[in-house]
Amino acid sequence: MRILKHSFLSLLRKPTKAVMILVILFIVFSMVFTGVIIQNSIAKSKEFVRLELGAVVEYKADYMKAYRDNLPEDEFVQLELSKATADTMASDSRVEKVYINYSDYLESSTYKTVDSDESNNGMVMTVGFDDAAYFNFKATDNHLPIEFDTSKLEIIEGRNIEASDDDAIVISEEFAKKNELALNDEMSFKSYSQTDELKFTVVGIYKVKDTNFTGNDMYVSKKSLSGDQADVISSIFFKLKDPLEVDGFIKDQNVNLPSKYTVLDAGNSEYDILTKPLDLMSIIASILIWVIFIAGAAIIVSLITIFVRDRKFEVGLLLASGEARYKIIAQFVLEIIIVAVIAFGCSVLLSFQSSQMVSEWIVENQLMEEEETTNDDLFFIGGMNSVNGDVNMENVANDFSVSITFDVMRNLFIISIGIVIIASLIPLGIILSYNPRQALQD
């Protein structure tokens, strides 16, 4: 009771030094909090990019590396994808599904291709001899093709491919229209080597929901692919349970890659490019936080030392009256905590305002300016798998907002209060080590 009463009375009746401490704490806390809030917002924004990119990791050949290294043709085996490796990685508890894909190019001079506009990759179709066209036939082990699972494509008529199908085919809506095909129609193609005639029945029609797809892709079961390509894996995708586990999964599973010419990719290049300006801001914010934190802590310790030393006589008086040392400590620490809590509250309010301003500046001057460059970069890096989510710098800029979690706030509070408590305990410890007579001497 005495402690509480005297703490408040001291602050109210001798406010000068308390106000000085309050102002310093407010400035230091505000600057540190602004930095922390921005860092937290940046972390959230990076999380947003990762969530938007999705939870799909592709195990694929690194052709660029092979090209750069001039990999001899007889060593191209190093580029092959291994089912055993895929099985090992699929046993990771973070994996929800694994898609092992096979593909083959089949020829037809009967069917017209869907024209791809310039924005599409348009790499799935090649015009062959005698105006014949090659179509990309895709098959997946066990599951539905990942394009359907990730909502890039959607069945609008009939059904999807099943593993047990012998001659079923799923075609795009655009392709069906262009070639006047409907469900249950028969289609025939020639194998790449022109040796086999493969016949299919249309069991489903899909709608393209992503501009990365042209509508020229045909989906069949694995066993209906022509024999020579049926066992060559074209791509392997792992769909993870949580997009935020992608980085950890890649880090842990990299050791299982059979050669340096195979990689695990979850749109890493895109992620790196999109998050580059965020990382730069995060580094600047981090430096700012530490510089202010260290300088601020030194100033706070000095100021509180003056505050406590100034009241050495009062400490001596309380000791002379028989007050327990821990109660004297409690009184002084309580006073400092009251000041620190007020400063903390004000700082949090100001920090939201100031970090809002800084974040607007980041969006205007860093993210939006980066948008054009980034899009160019993304075009040149290529290799981005078609099933990852679409995200660009504009999305990142639109999503970027000041945010702070309760955990961060709680940690900031604990650290702030911890500093002022330590700053009070140092001079108090020195004064309380005196005997009361020494403490009472001016």
Partner 1 sequence: MKDIIFELKNITYGYIDGGKKRVILDDLNYEFERGKFYTILGPSGSGKTTLLAIASALDTPERGQVLFEGSDIKKLSHTKFRRNNMAIIFQKYNLTDYLTGVENVESNMMIVDKKIPGNQKEIAYKVLNSMGIVRSKADRKVTKLSGGEQQRVAVARALSKDVPLILGDEPTGALDTATSKEVIALFKKLVKEYNKTIILVTHSDDVASNSDISLMLKNGKLEEVKWD
Closer of 232 and 324 to partner 1 (Cβ): 324
Separation in Å, CA 434 to CA 116, 320, 421, 424: 87, 12, 20, 16
Distance CA 266, CA 268 (A): 5
CB of 428 to partner 1, least distance (A): 16
**Cβ distance to partner 1 smaller for residue 301 or 440:** 440
DSSP state of 366: I
Burial of 331 (0-12, 13-18, 19+ CB in 10 A): buried
**Smallest separation (angstroms) from partner 1 to the CB of 15:** 10
Q: Are 420 and 340 in contact (CB under 8 A)?
A: yes
**CA atoms of 108 and 58, how far apart (whole Å):** 30
In whole angstroms, the minimum distance from the beta carbon of 317 to partner 1 comes to: 6
- Closest contact distance (angstroms) between CB of 344 and partner 1 is 25
The DSSP-derived string for 153-178 is: EEEEEE----TT-SSEEEEEHHHHHH
Closest to partner 1 by CB, 177 vs 327, is 327
Give the integer Cα–Cα distance in Å for 442 and 425: 21
Measured CA to CA, the distance from residue 146 to residue 101 in angstroms comes to 9
CB of 420 to partner 1, least distance (A): 21
Nearer to partner 1 by Cβ, of 199 and 437: the residue is 437
Query: What DSSP character marks residue 322?
Result: T
Closest CB to partner 1 among 1 and 255?
A: 1
Q: CA-based Rg of the chain, rounded to a whole angstrom?
A: 33
Q: Which is nearer to partner 1, 419 or 431 (CB)?
A: 431
Q: How far is the CB of 303 from partner 1 (least distance, A)?
A: 19
> Which of residues 173 and 323 has its CB atom nearest to partner 1 in the complex?
323
Closest separation in Å from C-beta 10 to partner 1: 6
What residue type is assigned to position 264 of the chain? L
Q: Residue 340: CB partners within 8 Å, gap ≥ 6?
A: 25, 416, 417, 420
Residues near partner 1, by CB under 8 A: 1-2, 6, 9-10, 13-14, 313-314, 317-325, 435-438, 440
